[in-house]
Amino acid sequence: MATDDTPAIELRGISKAFGPVQANKGIDLMVPRGTIHGIIGENGAGKSTLMSILYGFYRPDAGEILIGGRPIVISDSQTAIRAGIGMVFQHFKLVQNFTVLENVILGAEDGRLLRPSLARARGELQRLAREYELQVDPDALIEELSVGHQQRVEILKALYRQADILILDEPTGVLTPAEADHLFRILRGLRDEGKTIILITHKLREIMQITDNVSVMRRGEMVASVKTSETSPAALAELMVGRKVLLRVDKAPATPGAPVLELRGLRMVDAEGVERLRGIDLDIRAGEILGIAGVAGNGQTQLLEILGGYPEAGARLEGEIRLKGQPLPLSGSDGRARRRAGIGHVPEDRQVEGLIMDFSAWENVAFGYQDAPEFNRGPLMDHAAIRADAQGKIERFDVRPPNPDLAAKNFSGGNQQKIVVAREVERNPDLLLIGQPTRGVDIGAIEFIHKRIVALRDAGKAVLLVSVELDEIMALSDRIAVMFDGRIMGERLPKATTSGDLGCLMAGVDPAVVPATEAIPPAQAPGTEPGGGAV
Amino acid sequence: MDFATVIQILDSALRLMVPLLLACLAGLYSERAGVFDIGLEGKMLMAAFCAASVAYATGNAWLGLLAGIAGAVALAVVHGLASITFRGNQLISGVAINFLASGLTVLLGQKIFGLGGRTPSLEGAARFTEITLPFADALRGVPVLGRIYADLISGHSVLVYLALATVPLTWWVLYRTRFGLRLRAVGENPASVDTAGVSVTRLRYAAVLICGLLCGIAGTYLATAISAGFVKEMTAGRGFIALAALIFAKWRPWGALGACLLFGLLEAIANRFPNLDLGFVTVPSMFMNALPYILTVIILAGFVGRAIPPRAGGEPYVKER
């Protein structure tokens, strides 16, 4: 029998690779019983992989898992459930046209016939509802429930299976602030009953608000495990983002001109009703690079998509976008019109949005501009002209191997990015949108891409740079805006700020107002409308 | 139209409905589990051939039934391998099974019996013959109800009653048992079943095998009860009509009964009145014979309300990260 100070979960040296990608590298983790343990890290840091290993979706390549002090091999989800692990996935695993009750018993039925299971589950649900504020109508269909209630069903499912360890993967991503607060009350109640809770998130506010301990993951490694009371959002932000070799970009001081892009009160509510942008006001002037810093998932992606002319399907938008004084239409999806208006866009995910991986480099170089007169001869495309153009870009951007016939997928990450940057920058746009320009790009290509961005600025163009790499933001930007939770938390000049200062803003704390360690801002700043209502 | 004619038409409708109903329920199991199956036709055809051959060779209709089921289940296993294990395209696998059955039955029939793809006529115990329910003759004298009992309800082969019993049985399995709950769940959201620690693969195989079993009974009925032997392409598109009935029924067992009864009735009317005289116009026989197919087109075109198929239908399940 395990004693009280035996950790609920202990991981020793867990490693997992997917092909060449090392998703988890020698992870050690110790989660004491009856605590809420936060695991924080950026998208792609390996958090979800680690939890999938715990839930039996993947077998680790190496390492050992101990539950309640006993080593265990979790070969499938059934084993994990029997070991007392319950998982609430980011995307719920519910059957939409089943009732709550049916979803709860699915896979945990008492016998071959449903009736006794349903009766017992009904009683059990009532008990759980009383104990933990988990009220849900047991006969409601899932598709009729709000997202917050669906999440409760997921928690109920785990508790019905007598889970002692509850893992929640980004549980608040789809919740309103009020729903998130309710969730946290439930989680505290569960912890006080002796359950162990693992909370995976990239939101520092939540970590500070609810966890007892926190572990930070970065690029597949567990970089720190600390008591929440002994750390600060700024310290965690720095651990998450990491400190790398200092980037140096040689550039002359900016000489900003007239505003090229003006955003006024830009708001966006996605199809699920979550407010992703909560009123963005920004000016970007000719001849300056505005860097947007922030932890991934705070609205940067949505901002780029809207400016690029392809907002998420079903999203509702309001506010004003003006390019060189001319208003741009908000609604509809027309990336081509944006390009014609003078906006170049290097999207965040080059492999999905920037390139067609199976197409050759020369075809990719024409994408987005395939209607340009120089690429066409009457109704037909002028392949010779496109190829010649591609050849030129490949040479000027030193794309290796310099073979325009090679499929995009056969280039390295850095060279793929050079193809996209070449395509967008050489069009000489008035405004360049560039998201995560150097993600997964080797150091040589980083320098090259940075130089081209600066050259564009020196030619009097405006650049909007979005990056989660703080060093890149600091090195490249003439002005920095920090995004948090769909808002601009503050603006700084790179010379007059520090990474700690920016880290606080990225964590949603304005260091000018309160010391970072003492206060966590409310989810909803006073005076703003609740999510989605006013759009 | 007198009462005797009505009874006769209904009686005929019942007989014609049975293969449709069995195939429709077969499809219901498979599609409710998320595996689309347009190979119902081929499985029935293969079953009809196997049943007729073995019944002829052994002189025993029950052995024929076993052979029919074995033939259909064998093709169901092929479909399961292609669409579950190897995550292939379910439509293509179904089409392939239809072609395979269509060619193989004729080829084997010619090779074995040398009758141009037919099997020799079945006689006596090699066929499922009509059974008379108790008191049928005694009650015939009772007005209306007696006639209905004696001439409509009584006097069918055992497979007809089996098919009718399958409807409430299927309903019970789907809505009252653990297996049914999991089956419906795996067709809607296999991830929910997987994360609950239940094998998606095993559930889907179970559904596909039940589908084979029911197709086997349907094919056997065609070759050894409604006819006396196998004839080339004798299923005549019933597998596809059954799919239309399944959509019409919105993937529900009692709905399947109603839809198949409607198709059976149309076929029975077409058989009874080759040239339907409505007084002012005579409907030609070609049109009457085409009615079930025309109705199929209308149903598939979505004119009969909105039918929402199982959400995960047609998609192989791949664990996501």
CA distance B158 to A35: 64
Q: Tell me what pLDDT residue A243 has.
A: 57
When pLDDT is cut at 50, 70 and 90, the band that residue A247 belongs to is low
Q: Which residues contact B27 (CB under 8 A, 6 or more apart)?
A: B37, B40, B211, B242, B243, B246
* CA nearest to A331, candidates A346, A349, A315: A315
For residue A412, the Cα-to-chain-centroid distance in whole angstroms is: 24
Taking residues A67-86, what's their average pLDDT?
Answer: 93
**Under an 8 A CB cutoff, do A93 and B179 touch?**
no
Cβ–Cβ gap A81/B192 under 8 Å: no
Extract the tokens encoding A90.
């980011």
Q: What is the mean pLDDT of residues A214-226?
A: 91
More confident residue, B158 or B296: B158
Question: How many pairs of residues across A and B have Cβ atoms under 8 Å apart?
Answer: 74
Contact: A80, B176; criterion CB under 8 Å: no
Rounded to a whole number of angstroms, the distance from the CA of A268 to the nearest CA of chain B is 28
Candidate from A257-266, B228-237, B277-286 with smallest mean pLDDT: B277-286
Other CB atoms within a 10 A radius of the CB of residue B281 amount to: 8
Residue type, B38: I
Q: Say yes or no: B85 contacts chain A, CB-CB below 8 A.
A: no
Tell me the sheet residues that pair with B253: none
* Residue predicted with more confidence, A183 or A505: A183
Mean pLDDT of chain A: 87
Q: What is the per-residue pLDDT across B189-198, written as a single tens digit (0 to 9) for each?
A: 999 999 999 9
- B198 and A107 within 8 Å at the Cβ level: the answer is yes
Write the DSSP assignment of A210-267 as a string of letters.
H-SEEEEEETTEEEEEEEGGG--HHHHHHHHH---SPP----PPP---SEEEEEEEEE
The answer to whether residue A5 scores a pLDDT higher than 90 is no
Question: A453-493, pLDDT tens digit by residue?
Answer: 999 999 999 999 998 878 788 889 999 999 988 999 999 99
Chain A CB contacts of B175 below 8 Å:
114
When CB atoms are compared, the residue of B182, B192, B198 closest to A94 is: B192
Res. B2 pLDDT band, cuts 50 70 90: confident
For residue B197, give the nearest of A76, A95, A97 by CB distance.
Answer: A76
pLDDT for A526 equals 41
C-alpha to C-alpha distance for A26 and A24, rounded to whole angstroms: 7
Are B11 and B3 spatial neighbours (Cβ–Cβ below 8 Å)? no
| Cα–Cα distance measured from residue B283 to residue B211, given in angstroms and rounded to the nearest whole number | 38
Domain residue spans in chain B? 3-300
ipTM of the modeled complex: 0.89
A342-367, pLDDT tens digit by residue?
Answer: 999 999 888 888 899 899 999 999 98
At residue A332, the pLDDT reads 66
Q: For B193, which of A107, A115, A157 is closest by C-beta distance?
A: A107
Peptide bond into A401 cis (omega under 30): yes
Beta bridge partner(s), residue A280: A266
What structural domains does chain A harbor?
9-241 (3.40.50.300), 245-342+429-535 (3.40.50.300), 353-427 (no CATH)
pLDDT greater than 50 at residue B27: yes
pLDDT above 70 covers a percentage of chain B that reads 98
Residue A281 burial by Cβ neighbours in a 10 Å radius (0-12, 13-18, 19+): middle
Cis peptide before B143 (omega within 30 of 0): no
Question: Cα dihedral sign for B101, B103, B108, B114?
Answer: positive
Nearest beta carbon to residue B321 from set A52, A117, A157: A52
Strand partners, A345: A433
Q: Are A104 and A166 in contact (CB under 8 A)?
A: no
Mean pLDDT on A10-25: 87
Question: pLDDT class for B303, splitting at 50, 70, 90?
Answer: low
**pLDDT, position A515:** 46
Cβ atoms within 10 Å, residue B273: 17
Are the C-beta atoms of A84 and A8 separated by less than 8 Å? no
Mean residue pLDDT across chain B: 91
Predicted confidence at residue B305, as pLDDT, reads 66
Q: Given a cut of 80, is residue A288 above it in pLDDT? A: yes
Please, are residues B2 and B147 in contact by the beta-carbon 8 Å criterion? no
Is the pLDDT at A206 greater than 90? The verdict is no
The reported pLDDT for the residue numbered A512 is 65
* Cross-chain CB nearest to B192 (options A49, A106, A112): A106
Our measurement of the distance from residue A228's CA atom to the centroid of its chain's CA atoms, rounded to an integer in Å, reads: 22
Measured between beta carbons, the chain A residues lying within 8 angstroms of B184 are 95, 98
Looking at residue A362, what is its pLDDT?
Answer: 93
What 3-state class would DSSP assign to A93? coil
Query: Burial, B3: exposed, middle or buried (Cβ in 10 Å; 0-12, 13-18, 19+)?
Result: exposed
Confidence of residue A535 (pLDDT cuts 50, 70, 90): very low
pLDDT for the residue A4:
63
How many residues in chain B? 321
> Residue A163: which residues within 8 A CB-CB, separation 6 or more?
A81, A84, A85, A86, A195
CA closest to A88 among chain B residues: B195
CATH topology assigned to domain B3-300:
ABC transporter involved in vitamin B12 uptake, BtuC (1.10.3470)
Q: Cβ separation of B181 and A102 shorter than 8 Å?
A: yes
pLDDT at A155 over 70: yes
Given this model, what pLDDT does residue A529 score? 39
Query: Positive or negative CA dihedral for B80, B82, B83, B84?
Result: positive
Q: What is the pLDDT at residue B308?
A: 83
Nearest CA in chain A to B182: A106
pLDDT of residue A513 exceeding 50: yes
Rounded Cα–Cα distance for residues B189 and B317 (Å) = 9
A185 contacts A29 by C-beta, under 8 angstroms:
no
E strands in chain B: 276-277, 282-283
Residues 6+ apart with CB under 8 A from B252: B28, B171
Window 291-320 of B, Cβ < 8 Å to A = 311, 319
Q: What is the mean pLDDT of residues A235-252?
A: 71
Contacts of A79 in chain B (CB under 8 A): 197
Phi, psi of A60 (to 5 degrees): -65, 150
Instruction: Look at residue A116 and tell me whether its pLDDT is greater than 70.
Output: yes
A23-33 pLDDT, tens digit per residue, is 899 999 999 99
Are the beta carbons of B196 and A57 separated by less than 8 Å?
no
Q: Report the pLDDT averaged over residues A177-196.
A: 91
More confident residue, B300 or A95: A95
Type of residue at A99: T
> What is the pTM for the complete model shown?
0.76
